[in-house]
């Protein structure tokens, strides 16, 4: 273990190895590190801030309960987001709700944006809303959470080919939307 670096610089794999040797105090660091990301992910999935708080907390409670079952063959972050995904699905089942609708993301984005950011945000928000829920989830996990496609397949419990297809289709839809938008803007400028 590279003790010369600060604990905050230790990789997830180093922390989980220590935790699994019984040094459970490092769980606090791991939770703090991933809390914001998990919250944002739950927010994207549920479209509701209160639900996102609940789902994020539940995700980490699951982590505490099932950490013994975690093996280093899976990347920790992907494993954690998989838990979050399942927790959100359980939330929908319990609430008898559908996953966040098309407008949810756009609405959420606009709520928190400053005036100067609205235009940009609008573009991204409405662009993402062109996608299906699965495509949007894939794009969000890829760009906003930094996951590789293989990891996204683990998180969403889908085949690699399915994820690649969702990503490709998502990017094509975004491309089509961007082309249309830039075409319309050129028209307006004239």
Partner 1 sequence: MKRRKDREMERQIRSILNQAEMEEGDWGRPEEGRKQETLAFLRAQRRKIRLRPRKSFAERLLDQASWLSPGVWLGQLAVPVLFCLLLGNEGLEKRDTLLVLSACAPLPGVIGLIELLRSWQSGMWELEEACRYHLQQIQGMRLLVLGIADSAGTAVVFAAGLLNGYSAGMLLLFFLFPLLVSDSVFLLLAGVFRRGAKGLVPVLAGLGMGIFWIYQASWLLDVLDMLHVLESYRSLPVLAALLFGGLGLLAFACARFLNETGKEEQRLWNCA
Partner 2 sequence: MELCIDRLTKQYGHKLAVDRVDLELHRGVYGLLGANGAGKTTLMRMLCGILTPTSGEIRWGGREIGSLGEEYRSLLGYLPQDFGYYPEFTAEKFLLYLAALKGLGKVQAGQKMLELLDLVGLSEERKHKIRTFSGGMKQRLGIAQALLNDPEILILDEPTAGLDPKERVRFRNLISACARDRIVLLSTHIVSDVEYIAGEILIMKEGRLIHRGAPDAITHEIDGKVWECRVDPARAEELCSQYNVGNLKNVGNKTILRIIKDEKPMEEAVPAEASLEDLYLYYFQEEGR
Angle at 76 between CA 46 and CA 96, to 5 degrees: 20
117 is a contact residue toward partner 1 (CB under 8 A): yes
Map the footprint of partner 2 across residues 16-35, applying CB under 8 A: 21-23
Contact, 151 vs 157, CB < 8 A? no
44 is a contact residue toward partner 1 (CB under 8 A): yes
Among candidate residues 174, 119, 109, 100, the one with its CA nearest the CA of residue 142: 174
| Residues contacting partner 1: total by CB under 8 A | 46
Q: Beta-carbon neighbour count of residue 35 at 10 Å?
A: 14
Name the DSSP letter for residue 4: T
Footprint on this chain of partner 1 (rule: CB under 8 A): 19-22, 24-25, 27-28, 31-32, 35-36, 39-40, 43-44, 52-53, 56-57, 60-61, 64-65, 67-68, 108-109, 111-114, 117, 120-121, 123-124, 127, 139, 143-144, 171, 174-175, 178-179
Footprint on this chain of partner 2 (rule: CB under 8 A): 21-23
């Amino acid at each position: 273990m590279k003790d010369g670096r600060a604990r905050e610089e230790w990789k997830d794999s180093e922390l989980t190895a220590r935790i699994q040797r019984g040094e459970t105090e490092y769980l606090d660091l791991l939770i703090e590190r991933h809390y914001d990301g998990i919250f944002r992910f739950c927010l994207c999935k549920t479209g509701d801030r209160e639900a996102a708080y609940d789902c994020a907390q539940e995700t980490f409670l699951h982590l505490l309960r099932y950490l013994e079952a975690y093996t280093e063959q899976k990347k920790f972050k992907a494993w954690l987001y998989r838990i979050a995904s399942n927790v959100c699905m359980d939330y929908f089942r319990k609430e008898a709700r559908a996953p966040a609708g098309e407008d949810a993301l756009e609405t959420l984005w606009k709520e928190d944006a400053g005036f100067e950011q609205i235009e940009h945000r609008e573009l991204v928000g409405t662009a993402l809303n062109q996608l299906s829920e699965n495509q949007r989830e894939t794009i969000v996990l890829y760009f906003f959470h930094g996951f590789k496609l293989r990891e996204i397949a683990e998180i969403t419990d889908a085949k690699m080919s399915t994820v690649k297809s969702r990503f490709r289709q998502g990017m094509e839809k975004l491309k089509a939307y961007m082309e249309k938008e830039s075409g319309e803007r050129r028209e307006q400028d004239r």
